[in-house]
Structure 1
Amino acid sequence: MTTALPGRTAPQDPTARPARRARRPARTAAMFLAPFLLLFTALYLAPIGYTVQQSLFRMHRSGLGLSAPTEVFAGLGNYATALGDPAFRGSLLRVLLIGVVQVPLMLLLALVLALLLDAKSTMFKRFFRLAFFLPYALPGVVGAIMWSYLVAPGLSPITAAAHHLGLHLNLTSDGMLGPTIGNMLTWGWTGYNMLIIHSALQAIPPEVVEAATMDGCSAFGTAWRIKVPMIRPALVLTTVFSIIGTAQLYNEPAILHNVAPNLSSTYTPIYAAHNAVDANDFNLAATESVVLALLAFVLSFGFLKLVQRRGAAS
């Protein structure tokens, strides 16, 4: 123990100053992260927590229902009600079927378009890149309204052209609603995924492609054996985004319902939750939203784990 003599200051600990200097970057980082953490908590974590809380309660009306309803704890009762509803289960199955068919086809088309734009022999690259991306630049509601006129019975030029060929085509029939909505999704989101994949292709070192060409690899072989494996992270990313986006399907069926009255008001889970809000059953709407979020999480996380296992096995 060191004691200070009269008139002299006590010797300072030599490790104190480096410790203070080490804490400065941490405080600076905390100051820069504080706005993001505050907004992330207020706009993301808090609404999720409130939704989960609301899904565990229900409104109870006593007597003849003339008194004000009271909120009571329901536990998992709302989840049993939601999952026991055939219409809601059908909406979950419907988005699964649309995703299983539409997502692979859309990503395959986006990959082909990105590879064509990346080819040296492709002309007018800027024009085609803008043309492919333009559908995504339009607001989703505007695109859905445009397609609703293109498929509406009595207005559709596609139906009229098929009629001249002797085909009786109704793009809003029960059997064609799924393909019609899938086509609308593919038209609107292919350009977005193409841009992500094309950006990943631009990051491939040119010398890798030149080495493959010098070894006698054809253009198709270079694309399949060299480029596609090297942009695997971008393909995984677009697949995860597409899975989540398909689970959140709402704009297309909501707009298409105006020209296709046979389209159910519970066609997709979010559509069903929106109808629950219109019926003032906010607890059920919160429950259906949580179920949908869990479904999207399980599908996306399961896909990531599957990709990781295949990558480790190879």
Structure 2
Amino acid sequence: MTSAHGTPYGAGKAPYVLPSRAARRERARSAPYFFLLPATVLFVLFFALPIGYAVWLSFRKVKVSGLGLGAGARREVWAGLENYTAAFTDDELLNGALRVLGYGCIVVPVMLGLALLFALMLDSEKVRLSPFTRLAIFLPYAIPGVVAALLWGFLYLPDVSPFYFVLDALGLPQPDLLDGGPLYLALSNIAVWGGTGFNMIVIYTALRAVPGEVYEAAKLDGATPLQIALRIKIPMVAPSLVLTFFFSIIATLQVFSEPMTLKPLTNSVSTTWSPLMKVYRDAFRTGDVHGASAQAVIIALATLLLSFGFLRVANRRTEGEATR
């Protein structure tokens, strides 16, 4: 067959040669790496490199010569473990860690307890409007933490809060939630309000994955709904409880937005109320970037050790129960 110009089709073109089986196999092996390449580049640029730079800064310090004026009067030198020694002996950092510990003792049990309770209630056969209820419980999690802290902060202020107006009309005492001990309850309430929905969804999803035959067998044996919840549902979702507890520990140790947002509303929240607030102050207020980097590394290592230590204990306990 020829074209309109009288030349055969395909003339002048190299014949198509199928790649060999070895070449196709090599392409198939390398294809996953090409798909992983964008995520790997983003991970290195925006996660690994900043962490590595922070670790590098934590071993450096600024040496000032003379009055610190002129070129070369301030230069960065190697500090070794000097910044880490100063961080471990810093009373403000230690006091902030103790405050966060007290804050976590309130937030974690209350938040996970409510999440488990809501998940069990939504998994009940007698619940009505389950999709709307799930959305209503989950919705606070979708609100940014700063917005939630501002919202609750103004609800805590006696001059603008409708709650204080109602209490005053009823002649009831009006506690100051932004001063002293109640401040822990005020901050914990913001975290519980915002985090319960996410943990509830995780636990509820695990409950929905339990086969219905398990519940039917329990009902035939005469188990009540409360017995089914305590003896079947809760043990079945134990891995999800461990996961939510793991996330809650990390979020508690890294608390920052709630106290930072409430700070302009009260004098009870200092600039070093939490460890991350102290890191922020030292890095961006006082200009001690190297000391702040060392503190950030210590906080990250403490979070890592506590989280994975808890996971290891939980896994050992799960393995021990499985071998019985």
* Aligned residue in 2 for 1:14: none
8 Å contact from structure 1 (residues 162, 169) kept in 2: no
3-state SS of the aligned residue for 1:136? Answer: helix
Identity of aligned residues (%): 41
Q: Does 1:298 align with 2:298?
A: no
- Tell me the distance in 2 between the aligned counterparts of 1:225 and 1:38: 47
Aligned pair 1:116/2:143, yes or no? no
1:212 aligns with 2:218: yes
Structure 1 SS opposite 2:267: coil
Distance 2:301 2:163 in 1: 38
Matches of 1:220 and 1:62 in 2, distance apart?
Answer: 73
Deviations 1:249-273 (A, max 9, x none): 1111011111112211101111111
The CA deviation at 1:118 is 0.9
Deviations along 1:250-297, one digit per CA (max 9) or x if unpaired, are 111011111112211101111111111222111122111111111111
Structure 1 runs not aligned, ≥5 long: 1-16
Kindly state the Cα deviation for residue 166 of structure 1 after the two structures are TM-superposed. Answer: 4.0
RMSD: 1.7
Within 5 A, what are the aligned runs for 1:1-314?
A: 22-67=25-70, 68-162=73-167, 164-276=170-282, 277-314=284-321
Find the residue that maps to 1:90 and give its secondary structure: helix
Q: Give, in whole Å, the separation in 2 of the partners of 1:278 and 1:189.
A: 30
The residue type paired with residue 287 of structure 2 is: N
1:27 CA drift (Å): 0.6
Gaps of 5+ in 2: 1-19
Q: Secondary structure at the match of 2:61?
A: strand
Q: Report the more deviating stretch, 69-78 or 148-157.
A: 148-157
1:161-192 Cα offsets, whole Å, 9 max, x none, are: 45545435110112111111111100111011
Cα offsets for 1:116-173 (capped at 9, x unmatched): 1111100111221111111111121111101001112433344454554543511011
- What is the letter of the counterpart of residue 302 of structure 2? L
Read off the aligned partner of 2:294 and give its amino acid letter.
Answer: T
Deviations 1:97-118 (A, max 9, x none): 2112210110010010011111
Shift of 1:22: 4.5
Instruction: Say how many residue pairs are matched.
Output: 298
Structure 1 contact 159–170 (Cα < 8 Å) conserved? no
Give per-residue Cα distances to partners, 1:13-62, cap 9 Å, x unaligned.
xxxx7765543332111111111111111111111111111111111111
TM-score scaled by length of structure 2: 0.87
State how far apart, in whole Å, the 2-side matches of 1:287 and 1:162 are: 47
How many Å separate the matches in 2 of 1:20 and 1:217?
Answer: 62
